[in-house]
Amino acid sequence: MNNQNNLFPLSQDQKIIDYIFGGNALITVRNEDSKNRFTFKIKKCKNPKAIKIDLYWVLVLTMPDNNDEKSYKFIGALSREEGFRHSDKSYIKDNAKSVNVAYYYFNRLLGYSKFKLHDNIRTYHMGYCGRCGRLLTVPESIDSGFGPECSTLLNIPHEVREAEFKNTLFEQNYRGTEDYQIK
Ligand SMILES: [Zn+2]
């Protein structure tokens, strides 16, 4: 299945931060003016030897098939405590655009820059739970990016404001079909 076009907006910085540190996150970051975008996978490191902080690996989608693990290339590490750092072990060099975008995006999002993310930078999840990676189906899960059980385990609110949900559904699924009605 090609899920490339299913983009669900994460509407607040806190939701984005909760999602990217869920353990199994898949996000697309898009500049809404230029439409340039990168898709990042952020996975929790299972064996952080002698490291006291929760460490996450960041991979970037480099090939069209977003369901193939081999399409994602490791670029660096991420933590709440230190932000994003490129890794020397990555085949993608630190002057690559994806690495520059990762520095810009994660470090501004997490407050490691005196500047905030520009308003035209939006973050989307792809319809998969940020913790377990399963396909999300209920509206509350689409809103937060986590299924009911994973929300509970992570202590993340599993609710949605009605107006926000309607807007999301409309924009994602019914664009250009304004006469469509849910019966
Ligand atoms: Zn889950």
Q: From CA 40, how far away is CA 20, in angstroms rounded?
A: 9
The per-residue pLDDT for 64 is 87
What φ, ψ does residue 32 adopt, rounded to 5°? -70, -15
Higher pLDDT, 68 or 3: 68
The whole-number average pLDDT for the span 139-149 is: 91
Tens of pLDDT, residues 37-72: 999 999 999 876 667 788 999 999 999 888 899 999
- Whether residue 28 contacts residue 124, with contact meaning beta carbons closer than 8 Å, is answered with yes
- Give the global pTM: 0.83
Cα 43 to middle of ligand 1, angstroms:
14
The per-residue pLDDT for 27 is 97
Q: From CA 44, how far away is CA 93, in angstroms rounded?
A: 22
The whole-number average pLDDT for the span 116-132 is: 95
Cα 107 to middle of ligand 1, angstroms:
26
Cα–Cα distance list, 168 to 112, 140, 163 (Å) = 29, 11, 9
The per-residue pLDDT for 6 is 84
- Whether residue 25 contacts residue 133, with contact meaning beta carbons closer than 8 Å, is answered with no
- Whether residue 143 contacts residue 45, with contact meaning beta carbons closer than 8 Å, is answered with no
The per-residue pLDDT for 46 is 85
Cα 37 to middle of ligand 1, angstroms:
25
